[in-house]
């Protein structure tokens, strides 16, 4: 009995099979290259300091196994607070990005008004211009508003940086929703807000894609937490991991353990949104 892979390959000519196998080989090589640093951090976080430098590529055994890095992280640093701050900032920013992004995308895709295309182009420019170029102005604005060294400042900055991509992606997806469906709802007496809520499940793949593409940069960002919220009570996970890096001496056990712990929520959230991400990417490729 032939395997599914064999049956799949029989459908292609020899030249197509070679191209297909080459493409898969490149993708597998890229996947291995991308996962290698993550696996290296993970296995070394369970080893002694001496083993980290002596055998960095070996798996931990009875002699090299150690949880001293995780013990240091939980005893010397306020990692539960760091996790809480990162979750508040990430989930808060994502909620605002998806709320305002879907509302703006609905308006741009559904209603025609003077300057509609220019408004969409103006918002799309935010994807091309890095928000870090305006760090000084953002800091001055936060000082005037009195929100420096607060999680609110981070949430607002990340919301502003994530909205251009969200509006750009969601607008194009909402344009694909059949107009007959929306007109039928209007004939039945549905309000515009109810129609907006009705089409949200239809663009769920796009929402998942936007969530993943914004979630990872927000969680991993070090720049704005270091500038806008550097105090101990407002530190995020990424900034908290820098506690163990010194000018002359670094606690590498704790650094690797903190990096491993900080990656866990990102992996969980990615697994939750992965199906919607794949659907959104494939739908966008077809369109």
| pLDDT tens for each residue of 66-111 | 888 888 887 777 788 888 899 999 999 999 999 999 998 888 888 8
The confidence score (pLDDT) of residue 286 equals 46
Q: Which of 229, 213, 210 is nearest to 266 (CA)?
A: 213
> Do 39 and 82 share a domain, yes or no?
no
Where residue 4 falls among pLDDT bands split at 50, 70, 90?
A: low
> Do 107 and 247 share a domain, yes or no?
yes
The confidence score (pLDDT) of residue 280 equals 58
At 242, list the tokens: 């820098």
Look over the chain and give the mean of its residue pLDDT values, rounded to a whole number.
82
Tally of structural domains, the chain = 2
Give 32-63 pLDDT, tens digit per residue: 888 888 888 888 888 888 888 888 888 888 88
> Do 9 and 127 share a domain, yes or no?
no
What residues make up the domain containing 31? Answer: 4-44
Angle at 271 between CA 268 and CA 274, to 5 degrees: 145
- CATH at residue 245: 1.10.3720.10
The confidence score (pLDDT) of residue 127 equals 79
> Do 38 and 177 share a domain, yes or no?
no
Determine, yes or no, domain membership for 87: yes
Determine, yes or no, domain membership for 30: yes
Give 212-231 pLDDT, tens digit per residue: 888 888 988 889 998 998 88
What is the DSSP code string of 16-76? HHHHHHHHHHHHHHHHHHHHHHHHHHHHHTTB-HHHHHH-TTSPP-TTTB--HHHHHHHHH
> Do 116 and 178 share a domain, yes or no?
yes
Helix (H) or strand (E) holding 181, with range, is helix 179-187
> Do 89 and 188 share a domain, yes or no?
yes
3-class SS of residue 189? coil
CA pair distance 236, 71, nearest whole angstrom: 19
For the question of whether the overall pTM of this predicted structure is more than 0.85, the answer is no
The confidence score (pLDDT) of residue 193 equals 83
> Do 31 and 121 share a domain, yes or no?
no
> Do 147 and 255 share a domain, yes or no?
yes
């Amino acid at each position: 009995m032939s395997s599914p892979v064999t049956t799949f390959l029989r459908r292609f000519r020899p030249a197509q099979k070679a191209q297909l196998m080459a493409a898969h080989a490149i993708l597998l090589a890229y996947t291995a290259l991308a996962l290698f640093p993550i696996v290296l951090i993970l296995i070394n976080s369970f080893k002694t300091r001496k083993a980290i430098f002596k055998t960095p590529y070996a798996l931990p055994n009875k002699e090299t196994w150690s949880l001293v890095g995780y013990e240091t992280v939980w005893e010397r640093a306020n990692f539960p607070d760091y996790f809480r701050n990162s979750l508040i900032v990430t989930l808060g920013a994502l909620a605002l990005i998806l709320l305002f992004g879907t509302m703006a995308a609905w308006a741009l895709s559904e209603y025609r008004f003077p300057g509609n295309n220019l408004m969409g182009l103006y918002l799309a420019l935010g994807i091309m211009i890095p928000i870090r170029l305006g760090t000084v102005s953002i800091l001055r604005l936060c000082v005037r508003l009195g929100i420096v060294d607060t999680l609110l400042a981070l949430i607002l900055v990340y919301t502003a940086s994530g909205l251009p991509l969200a509006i750009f992606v969601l607008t194009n997806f909402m344009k694909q929703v059949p107009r007959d469906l929306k007109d039928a709802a209007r004939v039945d007496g549905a309000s515009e807000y109810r129609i907006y809520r009705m089409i949200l499940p239809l663009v769920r793949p796009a929402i998942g894609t936007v969530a993943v593409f914004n979630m990872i940069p927000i969680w991993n960002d070090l720049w704005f937490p270091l500038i806008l919220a550097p105090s101990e009570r407002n530190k995020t996970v990424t900034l908290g991991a820098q506690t163990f890096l010194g000018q002359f001496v670094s606690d590498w056990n704790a650094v690797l353990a903190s990096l491993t712990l900080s990656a866990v929520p990102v992996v969980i959230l990615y697994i939750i949104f992965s199906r919607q991400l794949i659907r959104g990417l494939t739908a966008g490729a077809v369109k």
